[in-house]
Structure 1
Amino acid sequence: MSALHLTIDGAVAELRLDNPAKLNSLTVPMLEALDAHCATLERAPEVRAVVVTGTGEKAFCTGADIGAWGPMEPFDFARHWVREGHRIFDRLARLGKPTVAALNGHAFGGGLELASACDIRVIAPRASLALPEAGIGIVPGWSGTQRTARLLPEAVVKEMALFGRRIGAERAVALGFCAEVADDALGAARAIAGKAATLSPRAVEVAKYMIQAGVGEDRAALIEALGSGMIAASADRTEGVVAFAEKRKPVFPGK
């Protein structure tokens, strides 16, 4: 059984990393579960917002479990671990519902990249951010130098990735990476998600797509999705489908 669980309570879903003995570090089964849960959430119209958190007070997620990737051959490491993890985090980032990360503890490496894949973040006072990969001879692989670098100033990403420094909670808020510091980060994240769940789900979804397209997150697919959504609501599209079914030439009303 994976240590990453999905629960749905009314309009708000919660994705929980539940591997506290290893500071919620990510394993292959956890990544596979995240992929499957994102697919479930995309097809769950009753869910209007998602909270992502970890079990315990020490860590939101301290990255990838070295026991999972350490023995891999270079080609398998690049293809299966890095590319698959990247794809799955992209899937979370592109989820058509607002996501809030509750950083109940430290977010290091892949944990910081996971938090970056969410729309906003709430952080506990004791928590900190880091990209410590160089300390074990690797580099960020799940968009730490890409998506995270869009959310934080270049110098700050370099501070973590090149110099091994940590960023505290108050500074994370001052830099705009986190929305707020809260003693009860999960409670604050749930309140934010609950508010989002009262808004128009279609308006929120389209606004998210527009913002993501503006910053380059899956731009090509989002432009086509937004355009397709507009044309699908037209009378021309209805006439085209009906005419095809009736095997006749369509007469488009231009509406």
Structure 2
Amino acid sequence: MNYENILVEQKDHIQYITINRPSQLNALNKVTIEELSQALEAAEEDSAIRVIILTGSGEKAFVAGADIKEFANFSVEEGKLLSAEGHTKLFNLVENLSTPVIAAVNGFALGGGLELAMSCHFRIASDNAKLGLPEVSLGVIPGYGGTQRLPQLVGKGKANEMIMTAGMIGADEAKSWGLVNDVVAQADLMGTCEKIAEKITRNSPRAISAAIAAVNAQYKDGIDGFKAEISEFGKCFGTADFKEGTTAFVEKRKPTFTGE
């Protein structure tokens, strides 16, 4: 499928999705959000894809925010709809994919860009990355999950500080806060993400999907995360991957998982 604002490439079991609006520092607009949604859903349905690496084109920005020109004149109801549709089409979609998504944060991750990175299952940042939620400087708040996911990752106090000051933090500080998993040189970013992705691809896709569901359950209202874990744990026993994994262990060989 041809896209206007993103690039999609597959190598072995890894899908690479690159937001490609370098002249706009890869800012998110409606078209880009729609295209990302379509590409991610297609990857989710492809059993050959076991990891997705999401990044921005160039060396300046992952995503430097939302395209403000698109909503500067919105009404209250239009603003609510913008946020709600973004949650459904992209940000919640990413978080709940059964295929792991690694954010390769290769520069500015601001506003909607940081919210997109936080929706991913984890984040690796280049040493030049700058992260922040500057929305209050525009008279609005983060509307794509930033007020919810940031406290989950860094705690309430740090999240309030980032949101209320509208300031940016560097990659090393983001790592110390737990906002990113690791920081590497710009030249090593994709290679590092690929090494992690390759480790993931060796494991059971069914078990990884179950683990994502169990971890996410902790953060959903009205759901007991421990009960969700018990349920997902039990389901694994009915999979071909479980039979292959345990048989391979007994036979002292490497398993070959099919995702079934």
| TM-score of the superposed pair, with normalisation by structure 2 | 0.82
Summarize the alignment of residues 85-234 of structure 1 with structure 2, pairs less than 5 Å apart.
Answer: 85-87=86-88, 88-183=90-185, 184-216=188-220, 219=223, 223=228, 226=231, 230=235, 233=238
1:67 aligned to 60, 66, 69, which one? 69
| Count of residue pairs the alignment pairs up | 233
1:199-221 Cα shifts (integer Å, max 9, x gaps) = 1111111111111112338958x
CA distance in 1, matches of 2:78, 2:50: 37
Q: Do the aligned residues in 1 keep the contact of 2:108 with 2:130 (CA within 8 Å)?
A: yes
CA distance in 1, matches of 2:237, 2:152: 33
Q: Do the aligned residues in 2 keep the contact of 1:134 with 1:162 (CA within 8 Å)?
A: yes
SS at structure 1 position matched to 2:146: coil
Unaligned runs of 5+ residues in structure 1 are 235-255
Alpha-carbon offset, residue 223 of structure 1: 4.5
The equivalent residue for 1:15 is 17
1:13-62 Cα shifts (integer Å, max 9, x gaps) = 11111111111100101111111112212211000111010001111111
Q: Do the aligned residues in 2 keep the contact of 1:54 with 1:103 (CA within 8 Å)?
A: yes
Letter in 1 for 2:216: Q
Identity %: 32
The equivalent residue for 2:252 is none
Structure 1 residues 230, 196: CA separation in 2 closer, same or farther (over 3 Å shift)? Answer: closer
| TM-score of the superposed pair, with normalisation by structure 1 | 0.83
Unaligned runs of 5+ residues in structure 2 are 240-260
Q: Let me know the Cα RMSD of the aligned residues.
A: 2.6
CA distance in 1, matches of 2:123, 2:36: 18
Alpha-carbon offset, residue 6 of structure 1: 2.5
CA distance in 2, matches of 1:171, 1:20: 26
Q: Greater shift after overlay, 182-191 or 208-217?
A: 208-217
Q: Do the aligned residues in 2 keep the contact of 1:212 with 1:218 (CA within 8 Å)?
A: no
Q: Do the aligned residues in 2 keep the contact of 1:103 with 1:124 (CA within 8 Å)?
A: yes
SS at structure 1 position matched to 2:98: coil
Alpha-carbon offset, residue 148 of structure 1: 1.9
